[in-house]
Chains A and B, each alone.
Chain A
């Protein structure tokens, strides 16, 4: 039995015993002049007795009232929300996509393998120049690679382990990273390879728990972060000040993604509470939320048009949510896939969805038809992160097998 329920039962029993004791006391001749107790004769109860009885009953009822009422109200609203959404669910995405030509056979191979990390690769990001990649790993190393030549251009050692988040600045002149140190730090990249990057480090974000994801907004000046403390926040890089904070998740926030610049100031986040939320960056309000996954959401990615987003979760499915229809419109799953999806990304046109899974594979899904078009093998441990290059010519996956692979 739930501890809260146990608490309620004990409280109720206590007050019942209390009420009956008071009743018995009132019935004793030497203590009280009335011949009949409160509970035995409702017609004869005096105001004083009524007050005492009411007080006891109220005390017994109060704690359970708040929690239970809130829960029932919450459930009713959730059902109402589902009904409203269901009214507009007149057709399935794959039905609308039936007339579209099926995709041909895909031949995607590992074209480059980036080796150099000493431990699990946890996160990666492409530079806007479509050539450089920054990646971070469990041993605290953050490395900037040239993907064409596989050379390492920069390497920084963070003072903490498990660097779970890293991001390239839009200008290509800095990288941001963070993890178990609860902070997000920005390192300006210098052209001088011998310079110690750690010396120029700037601490920007401070959370009360681990940093799970970070992302620069459209400029080098602002960073969006998400944390294990359940919040997301927008920071000014120069001053380190928090510009906006986003509260709404009931558990750790694991991932976030910024809307494509044409569609405005929103971002989506996903967390351990199985919810994904869309936020307005200016007001700090959650605009829409979706709770259809059955387990932690590890990765969220906006659709290239900005009207939808996909999420990958530990429940072994990836799902597509349409923001204008305000509902989930597709589930990408197969009975044979039982391991969680750790990372998802779309191809340039949004026709393909790439998902990196904990069973060491990458599944490629046809977004519109809902079918799997290809499965890619190569990694020797779980795929932890996956990003398509800015011009869509290739995608890079990072894994717990210490390597990154570029597929094209």
Chain B
């Protein structure tokens, strides 16, 4: 548990973790950013909060009359 560990132990834990992470494989941001953008564009057509939902289909929209919120 982090609260019970001495400073030395915490540092050793962080050191071991850093040694592992330096060896991770990484891809350039230009490639991954492009893929994220493409994924979003493909999905955005179906996103109800972006394209909006017709009043009668959305269960949360009121059907008329007074609304007291």
Binding site for B on A (CB under 8 A): 4, 66-67, 70-71, 73-74, 77-78, 80-81, 84-85, 88-93, 96-97, 100, 103, 108, 110-113, 131, 147-148, 208-209, 229-231, 247-252, 273, 285-289, 303-305, 307-308, 322, 324-327, 329, 347-352, 367-368, 388, 391-395, 406, 408
Binding site for A on B (CB under 8 A): 1-3, 7-8, 10-15, 17-22, 24, 26-37, 39-41, 43-44, 46-50, 53, 58-62, 69
Partner among B29, B43, B49 whose Cβ is within 8 Å of the Cβ of A91: B29
A326: B residues at CB distance < 8 A = 24, 26
- Contact B26 A325, beta carbon cutoff 8 Å: yes
- Contact A249 B2, beta carbon cutoff 8 Å: yes
Partner among A131, A250, A287, A393 whose Cβ is within 8 Å of the Cβ of B49: A393
Taken together as a complex, chains A and B put the C-alpha atoms of A225 and B53 apart, in Å, by: 36
- Contact A88 B27, beta carbon cutoff 8 Å: yes
Taken together as a complex, chains A and B put the C-alpha atoms of A261 and B17 apart, in Å, by: 26
Taken together as a complex, chains A and B put the C-alpha atoms of A249 and B49 apart, in Å, by: 35
- Contact A322 B33, beta carbon cutoff 8 Å: yes
Taken together as a complex, chains A and B put the C-alpha atoms of A273 and B61 apart, in Å, by: 42
- Contact B2 A89, beta carbon cutoff 8 Å: no
Partner among B2, B7, B37, B44 whose Cβ is within 8 Å of the Cβ of A251: B2
Given contacts A74-B15, A96-B34, A110-B69, contact A351 B26 (CB under 8 A): no
Partner among B11, B24, B43, B62 whose Cβ is within 8 Å of the Cβ of A71: B11
Give A88 Cβ to nearest chain B Cβ, in Å.
Answer: 4
A208: B residues at CB distance < 8 A = 1, 3
Partner among B19, B20, B36, B58 whose Cβ is within 8 Å of the Cβ of A303: B36
Given contacts A229-B2, A249-B2, A406-B60, contact A96 B17 (CB under 8 A): no
Taken together as a complex, chains A and B put the C-alpha atoms of A209 and B2 apart, in Å, by: 11
- Contact A348 B29, beta carbon cutoff 8 Å: no
Partner among A66, A81, A113, A393 whose Cβ is within 8 Å of the Cβ of B8: A66
Taken together as a complex, chains A and B put the C-alpha atoms of A329 and B53 apart, in Å, by: 31
- Contact A349 B44, beta carbon cutoff 8 Å: yes
> Please, could you name 18 A-B residue pairs with CB atoms under 8 Å apart, sorted by A?
A67-B7, A77-B15, A77-B22, A88-B27, A90-B29, A90-B30, A91-B30, A103-B50, A112-B69, A148-B59, A286-B17, A325-B29, A327-B29, A348-B49, A349-B50, A350-B36, A352-B47, A393-B48
A85: B residues at CB distance < 8 A = 26
- Number of inter-chain CB pairs below 8 Å: 179
Partner among B28, B43, B44 whose Cβ is within 8 Å of the Cβ of A325: B28
Give A153 Cβ to nearest chain B Cβ, in Å.
Answer: 16
A92: B residues at CB distance < 8 A = 29, 33
A277 closest partner in B (C-beta): B17
Taken together as a complex, chains A and B put the C-alpha atoms of A209 and B4 apart, in Å, by: 11
A405 closest partner in B (C-beta): B69
Taken together as a complex, chains A and B put the C-alpha atoms of A131 and B59 apart, in Å, by: 9
- Contact A348 B46, beta carbon cutoff 8 Å: yes
Most buried by A among B12, B22, B24, B29: B29
Give B51 Cβ to nearest chain A Cβ, in Å.
Answer: 9
Give A128 Cβ to nearest chain B Cβ, in Å.
Answer: 15
Partner among A73, A80, A97, A108 whose Cβ is within 8 Å of the Cβ of B37: A97
B10 closest partner in A (C-beta): A250
B69: A residues at CB distance < 8 A = 110-113
Partner among B1, B15, B27, B60 whose Cβ is within 8 Å of the Cβ of A73: B15
